[in-house]
Chains A and B, each alone.
Chain A
Amino acid sequence: MKRTLILGDTGLPKRSNDLLEVSNRIYDGKKHESWLLAFSPDQENLPEGFERIILVQDEGNICEDARYICAIIMDLHSTYAFDAILIPGTWIGRMVAPRLAKRLQVGLVAEINDVKTRDDALEFVRTAYSGNILSGIAITSSPPIILSIKPGIFTWEQKSGVNTIIQNYTKKLQSPSSLTCLKRKQRSVSYDIRDSKVLVSGGGGAKRAYPLLETLAKALGGEVSVSRKLVDQGIANRTIQVGQSGKIVNPRLYIAIGIDGAIQHVEGLRNVETILSVNTHSDAPICSISDVVVVGDAKIFIEKLLQRIALENEGTIHDQYRGERK
């Protein structure tokens, strides 16, 4: 039986099983086994859906050491001979995948967003040329298939329960790495836009209104994200950037304020349910993929909408008050 190894997403451990969907697509729904390599001090966070979870007790930040992770995967591969190794396209995954491919002397298709089968041959699809083109890529080297997967694209739905065997990885390997983490400082942004249900997103046209984005996001129960322009100008951080060089997001509602909608940005919005855009130009590219287009100034829009929401909330409070009086 075919066997896939999936490297856990250490940032969002629960989401590691999204990569099961990639494995299902590779084997076209045929029976196969999927194993997870997880780094976790607590067993509470382990995702469902895997036949086996190989758990590394992470004492010395192994999950941030690409060379150590490669060594563990090489060790496991020599015993279990995986047919496919899937790596999430996260910060650490993007360091592990190329190294691993070089060590195994196999081709790597990086940051894929689709798997297709054509004439019985597998084709892995990724964006190229700054998102203008999708390339279907075949791997010509012999197995294992190594892929890194663009986060936020694939979602896995549980169909039937799987009994998971948890196997502790106790071997102590010598890491060749000299990397030492000297300092950690919590960042003010503590959310991951890949998890957001509502995103209020600002672009070049929202520069003046940037502080207001958060107020609107809060009022709608969501978070703030941005386009590349605000990152380049040093106004916002890369971790909340949407798009090809940022993140693929899948909120239910995406409010694009002052975003022109360059193809690299739109690339990050494929799975968004509702897009509302606010722009001074009704012919900006973002408008053609929007459900609602508001033509006008970003700041005025936010202020007016906040006022309207406040009015509604006031009403609700009054209604409640009346209810209590009755």
Chain B
Amino acid sequence: MNIICLVKFVPDITGFTYDYHASAMVREHTRMVLNPDDECALSFAFKLKEQHPESLIHVVSMAPSSVVPHMHDLLRLPVDRGTLISDPLFAGSDTYATSEVLGTYLKSQEFDVILSGSRSLDGATSQIPGQIAQMLGFDHMLDITDIDVGRTSRTDAVFSIEGEKETTTWSMQLPGVLSLARSSTCKLPYPSYADLQKDVSDKLTILTNKELGIDSTHIGLEGSLTKVVHTYEANSRIREKTVVEADDEGIEFVFSYLKERGFV
């Protein structure tokens, strides 16, 4: 199978910065990690490759060039090739413009399935995979928790979703877009010790808009159809709190508190 895995590196939220004047995230200086849902997608790509050893895994990301070392880390795993779509012209792209860039690139590629995460940790709007599926004219499914690799072939995928009230199992014709949701079973393997320092730069292609040739009015801030106009800090209501211990006295307080309010 030819598998394309769409990944995004997201800021490790403990040390983020935000440019309030430009209303934009400052991504250049933040420590980035692989988005957890995308980690699931990649781990399923490896499971598919185990089942279908002839498979090729191609990791694609659109990001500033500072993620090159992270792409290298992924290329030290059983990933066959990587493509980083990176151009200062893409900066400021909203989801519409981003899916325009990724969709244009993916149209030029041959593949059986696109795997992605369902949500990104920083944006979490799940827009890109659906918009790409729309551009390519494919089916798309969100929040997949398991792919039945044994029943998935180049023409059909079988997967399940843990939904609100039921777990559903689905089949979908390929090519198509499958978006994974994080679950406990998704863990990436560690690279072998010998591979830790391996030079993998020949497996990574960096593309700019020169190669993609997208009309400049369709990308970046100009190509965006939404615009961040204000930012606010997310402050939560601070409450008048009563602090008690988990001893008899404290439990009695909690009990009376709940009883007064009709919960017991």
Mark each residue of chain B from 76 to 104: 1 if its CB lies under 8 Å from any CB of chain A, else 0.
00000000000000000011100100000
CA distance in complex: A176, B146 (Å):
24
Q: Which of B180-199 contact A (CB under 8 A)?
A: 181-185
Is there a chain B Cβ closer than 8 Å to A318's Cβ? Answer: no
Q: Which residues of B contact A98 (CB under 8 A)?
A: 95, 99, 126-131, 134
Q: Is the CB of A136 within 8 A of B254?
A: no
Q: Which secondary structure dominates chain A's binding surface?
A: mixed
Q: Which residues of A contact B145 (CB under 8 A)?
A: 238
Q: Is the CB of B99 within 8 A of A102?
A: yes
Question: Contacts A106-B225, A108-B226, A179-B171 known; A133 to B252 CB distance under 8 Å?
Answer: no
Question: Contacts A187-B167, A289-B239, A305-B254 known; A134 to B233 CB distance under 8 Å?
Answer: yes
CA distance in complex: A192, B251 (Å):
29
CA distance in complex: A96, B243 (Å):
46
CA distance in complex: A140, B227 (Å):
7
Closest to A194 in B: B164
CA distance in complex: A233, B186 (Å):
11
CA distance in complex: A128, B128 (Å):
16
Mark each residue of chain A from 171 to 203: 1 if its CB lies under 8 Å from any CB of chain B, else 0.
000001111111111110110100000100000
- Number of residues on chain B facing chain A (CB within 8 A): 88
Q: Which residues of A contact B140 (CB under 8 A)?
A: 66, 95, 99
Is there a chain A Cβ closer than 8 Å to B13's Cβ? Answer: yes
Q: Which residues of A contact B18 (CB under 8 A)?
A: 129, 132-133
CA distance in complex: A212, B172 (Å):
40
Is there a chain B Cβ closer than 8 Å to A309's Cβ? Answer: yes
Closest to B173 in A: A178
Q: Which residues of A contact B170 (CB under 8 A)?
A: 179-182
Mark each residue of chain B from 224 to 251: 1 if its CB lies under 8 Å from any CB of chain A, else 0.
1111111111101111111111111011
Q: Is the CB of A304 within 8 A of B225?
A: no
Scoring A11, A148, A187 by chain B CB atoms within 10 A of each residue's CB, the highest score goes to: A187
Q: Is the CB of A253 within 8 A of B124?
A: no
Q: Is the CB of A134 within 8 A of B234?
A: yes
Q: Which residues of A contact B245 (CB under 8 A)?
A: 294-296
Is there a chain B Cβ closer than 8 Å to A287's Cβ? Answer: yes
Q: Which residues of A contact B158 (CB under 8 A)?
A: 182
Mark each residue of chain A from 131 to 172: 1 if its CB lies under 8 Å from any CB of chain B, else 0.
111111111110000001000000000000000000000000
Q: Which residues of B contact A231 (CB under 8 A)?
A: 182-184
Is there a chain B Cβ closer than 8 Å to A300's Cβ? Answer: yes
Q: Is the CB of B244 within 8 A of A234?
A: no
Question: Contacts A138-B226, A234-B183, A234-B185 known; A309 to B255 CB distance under 8 Å?
Answer: yes
Instruction: Give the 7 A-B CB pairs with smallest separation, nearest first.
Output: A296-B246, A107-B225, A234-B184, A136-B230, A98-B130, A110-B125, A178-B173
Q: A133-B234, A182-B158, A187-B165 are in contact. List 8 more A-B contacts (CB 8 A).
A: A101-B127, A128-B122, A135-B23, A136-B228, A136-B231, A179-B141, A181-B169, A184-B169
Name B's A-contacting residues (CB within 8 A): 11, 13, 16, 18, 23, 25, 94-96, 99, 119, 121-131, 133-135, 137, 139-143, 145, 158, 161-173, 176, 181-185, 224-234, 236-248, 250-255, 257-259, 261, 263-264
A-B pairs with beta carbons under 8 Å apart, 20 shown: A67-B139, A95-B140, A97-B130, A98-B95, A98-B127, A99-B131, A102-B131, A133-B233, A134-B231, A179-B171, A181-B169, A182-B171, A219-B264, A233-B184, A238-B145, A245-B124, A252-B261, A282-B243, A289-B238, A293-B244
